[in-house]
Structure 1
């Protein structure tokens, strides 16, 4: 599914050079379309699901779940060439769009340019969180990141930049986008495109990962008034992760897959985080089957393409504020505002009272658990959260396709919290080393 590239194995054969604004819009749309839906694989890698031993897909999925990267059994891999292909489209737009002939009043060179900067930043951010070392402010200047691709140079052999250099480029691209974007918020029909609102939401996520707590908090707080939450206690709500939800901010990539809902079962580590009776997400996300719990959230539904939604903004606001002196009560308020529309009313009152008594350290643990509950199976969030925080030990006990019990362990701070560069990438580029 995902192939490697030497800047991508992208060749400008038969290339039609865009000259008009509408042609550059078509070009950046090709970039959006090329974004791959791979993040269900990260739910396998995290402590959320395991392939069912009885599933025919078990042999091709189990290596993802037990951190066996570059296994010969893998029919697919985490993306490498595809994100760089998207970056190729973005770079093509960045290089030339401001020279485009204006042939429409419904779009602008500036808006397309801003979207291209953000799409490039989004892809670099994804790649960094797959293949780069987790951000550590004391070692980021030397930790290996991923190759940065900011120019169209087919012949260049790309070497990994440091984690700091990658973040610097991401922030530079976000700043460049903010200078030129003209659309405040995209209509429902084009929520896959970036806007001023989704740019701020994306930046809030990046600042959180970069441990810029006050910046992340301020960005998230600035979005709350325009980020409504679905109320699961009401009779009329849309799945918060559905593109038709009022929570949707950016709808860029499919994160669900038939493999998720047909061939996996939940791990106890995920089930135990919920009150199955009083947490209204439990029966929305999961169902019981043959004495096991299996996902219903994240199936092969093209409506499951929400990359950023309101719930995440509340969680960013809460986590970031919990790190800022004098903002503990604000952090608690943001968390309570989210769970009020996720829990049965009586249970909410009980949980709210418990949250009110928490220290900052206790609250951060609770926010991490709430992220696991709210964003379960979605967008790779759990895996990315595990690796950006304390990288704990993960133990998976499961039944194999031979009916035997197996036990696999990812140790605390295990090197496999950073995914190895794909074999086909290292073979084609001597500058890539795991």
Structure 2
């Protein structure tokens, strides 16, 4: 059992998230000379949404997690004889969670946006049922992909403990939280609401930004009370302050009394701003896990979408009040669901900046007609990513296609 737990505790490997969706988001921009000097072609291609981007590193990093999770699941029954029932449940539940977490990220990178009308016929990701790498891979449908993610999480939540020693380990709230995120992407707002609420019942703590030192290099402490599950994105473009400049309109959208403006950002000395507000207490890598602020926003959005506007505003105000200077915040109010959603989605964009969530949000919102266009300008050359473009899904790496019979994503 100790060996299996040790595999789970390899946080540098297991607690990883996809890089491409961060690089492709609309939260930042690069100066042309910076883009030209990027050492990796992958980073250059992601930034301008090249249709031929080879995203080997996300594919490899995420399927390694799947392989390790499957190795644990293949051996847990035999190893369980040497441990307690609580240890068995925690390790098995954690392996199921990590596999689901990797599958979720793969679905947001290498499969199209979930659409209930086409989910049974659209290609999803490769689902690996065990650690035997000699079994040929094949693509599932998107319906099968999400059924697998939710199936793993449903089982995990019955096994996982409420409390864990370290934020890099998985607790029951983590499973509820990832289910909420998954159902939100699927447009199943009732289930997203129920799971976000269940997670918050286990831990609803929020940081009061008035207690933070906004002058610090990294004002948000590592493993703080808001963090549900710790996960890290290793060196995306946005993590290098000398490169990535915060989108000007996004920075200006924060009010002067909004403490996020000073906690999240610092001047780069050249008229722009860089991000320093990661929940991993660092400016070199970025937090891409799950935290309570995301759960409050999921809850508020789903309450608005299901017609409970007053409650959606109460949920939103509970969160945002903690982000403003004491006594300066005026509660949001809305009369209709549309008004509430406009407020909630604007705050979601501001609160969850650099979490690796924005690209998925654009995908799901565009499918509902949001018409969010992405634009890059490099010395007058304009790159555009239009709503529902096939480039919102990355190609399966060519070396994988060459070794398998997998069907490539469309271009």
TM-score by length of 1: 0.83
Q: Distance in 1 between matches of 2:232 and 2:39?
A: 26
* Cα deviation code 1:145-199 (max 9, x no counterpart): 1111112332233121111101111111112222333x21213xx2111111211
Please name the residue that 1:429 is paired with: 404
Structure 1 residue 430, shift from structure 2 partner: 2.6
Please name the residue that 2:90 is paired with: 111
**Change beyond 3 A, Cα 1:185–1:263:** same
Please name the residue that 2:116 is paired with: 137
Please name the residue that 1:413 is paired with: 388
Please name the residue that 1:367 is paired with: 344
Please name the residue that 1:163 is paired with: 142
* Cα deviation code 1:370-408 (max 9, x no counterpart): 111001112x1111111122153424243x4xxx22221
Secondary structure at 2:322 match in 1: coil
1:185 equivalent among 163, 185, 189: 163
Secondary structure at 1:80 match in 2: helix
Structure 1 residue 269, shift from structure 2 partner: 4.2
In structure 2, runs of 5+ residues without a counterpart are: none
Q: Distance in 2 between matches of 1:272 and 1:429?
A: 48
Structure 1 residue 304, shift from structure 2 partner: 5.0
Structure 1 residue 68, shift from structure 2 partner: 0.9
**Change beyond 3 A, Cα 1:273–1:343:** same
TM-score by length of 2: 0.87
**Change beyond 3 A, Cα 1:24–1:244:** closer
Asked if residue 214 in structure 1 is aligned to residue 195 in structure 2, the reply is no
Aligned residues between the structures: 396
Please name the residue that 1:14 is paired with: none
Alignment check: 8 A CA contact 1:397 1:408 kept: yes
Please name the residue that 1:15 is paired with: none
Please name the residue that 1:342 is paired with: 323
Alignment check: 8 A CA contact 2:219 2:276 kept: no
Q: Distance in 1 between matches of 2:51 and 2:219?
A: 32
Alignment check: 8 A CA contact 2:333 2:340 kept: no
Asked if residue 245 in structure 1 is aligned to residue 224 in structure 2, the reply is yes
Alignment check: 8 A CA contact 1:131 1:419 kept: yes
Structure 1 residue 236, shift from structure 2 partner: 6.7
Q: How large is the RMSD of aligned CA atoms in angstroms?
A: 2.7
Asked if residue 50 in structure 1 is aligned to residue 29 in structure 2, the reply is yes
Q: Which moved more, 1:208-217 or 1:33-42?
A: 33-42
Asked if residue 66 in structure 1 is aligned to residue 48 in structure 2, the reply is yes
Structure 1 residue 41, shift from structure 2 partner: 4.0
1:265 equivalent among 245, 256, 260: 245
In structure 1, runs of 5+ residues without a counterpart are: 1-20
**Change beyond 3 A, Cα 1:269–1:136:** farther
Secondary structure at 1:390 match in 2: helix
